[in-house]
Structure 1
Amino acid sequence: METLGVWLRQTREAGGGTLKDAQAATHIRVRFLEMLEAGEFAALPGGEIQARGFLRIYARYLELSPDKVLARYDAETRSTKAVPPGAPTDAQLASPVAPQPQSIPASTSLPRRMRRETLLIVGGALIVLVVIVAGAWYLRNRSAGEEAVATSTATAPSAAVPSPPETPAAPAVTPTFAASSQGDVTLALEATEHVWACVTTDGTTVFEGLLAPGQVETWSGDEAVTVDTGNGAGLLVTVNGQQQGAMCGRGEVCIRAWGPSGEILAP
């Protein structure tokens, strides 16, 4: 039985489509489609979530069942976690005479206890990493806040007359997008998890790569700022100071664009 990548490639070729045709229809770049058809899922940016999102979109394009494609993906990725061929079996340890070498079936899985211990180790490492990143972010923002307070205190007059409290105005409906009075658009992306993104301003690619959790980047354009990502749930968008929320759902490949007057049709 052919591998998942070979199956995807043969299905595309049988339909007469090229990788460029698939890129235009799915917004998945050609080099990522080549990785899918080569079975190089671990090399995709964004890890397993990105791979599953790409496979779901590509399966729909090829008119295959996304559930069947993901089931094949799960089966192949599980097989890579099988017991290493060089590990001795219980029979080899108990018998003084070494038996003939035998290949371990790809479907053999790690013992439940070993899987549980591995998950605990990985989970602990992730928790430590999150604590370190959160602590660094907190200290950085705290230092910036203390510097701002110290500067404000040093420049304040010795006897400031407090201004009377203002009567709060009636709350107004916040628009989903604020048009820029300067005729341009400023877009900020905040990553809530590791996510791949490509940003284009006025037709020029200004960023392409992975964003780390908590990382915030800002770009400006005269006509349009376009964002292409493979996991829209991991990116929070702010346009001209107005929060737009997450780009799209978890694991979804999506592309959106904004101009000075609001969201526009992505190219």
Structure 2
Amino acid sequence: MSIGNSPEDDRPSIEDDRPSTDDERPSIGRALQQARIDAGLTVDEVTTSTRVRIPIVHGIEEDDFSRCGGDVYARGHIRSLARAVGLDPDPLVAQYDAEHGGRPAPTPAAPLFEAERIRPERRRPNWTAAMVAAIVAVIGFVAFTLFNGADNGSKGNHVAEGPAPEQKPSPPRPSTSKPADPKPDPSDSAIAAVPKDKVTVKLSVLDDKSWISAKSHNGKLLFDGTLLKGESKTFQDDERVDLILGNAGAIELFVNGKKVEDQFETGQVERLSYTKGDPEVG
């Protein structure tokens, strides 16, 4: 029998081989803080990369999630911080759910869709119907106005109807106006009212047409053109009027109020000059 430890002392300890329980895991905040320190990052650097405010980062590292604003935001912050310091976020989120009553059940989509379907849609104004109604109203108003106007007119005519009072013919009144003087026939005396201090020549085309040129005593051109049948021209000058008639036989000529009786032939060209005296052929 050897002196020393008993065989029982050589057996491995049961407590050393026992797997670690969940209670031996570091807390979420402790794990994030240790990983940040191991990564050589400061809180400010983690805040810059995750956009999680500094007070919230300090609170999570102290396992205080009250500043996160709810479980949903707390899970999101845990995931952001875990990725920033190089940890797998899923075990930390699962640990958070286990410590805070589990992950909430997702809201079924059917009631949401049903609520969206039942929600009444806001009706837009129907401008086309409003415009049609306005046009119909205007047409109705115009028709009503015309109908009333026609009705009133017919009533007024009905009142005005009836036998008209007989009017006795009034006796003829004696005429006080003097009888009009008989118009004198065109003659030498009727045209004699031309000014005596000027030479007045009047041309009238009786048949076909005639080319006419008229000049004053100083050579000023008074007219140069063709007169058609029924057209007339009158020329005046202080001393003399010179004429060229292209078709003298078609022209009736008055000089100083007197008709020139010379018989010109059709197609004949005449050069004539007249002064203040009696008509004389130039």
Q: TM-score interval w.r.t. the shorter chain?
A: 0.3 to 0.5
TM-score, scaled relative to structure 1:
0.33
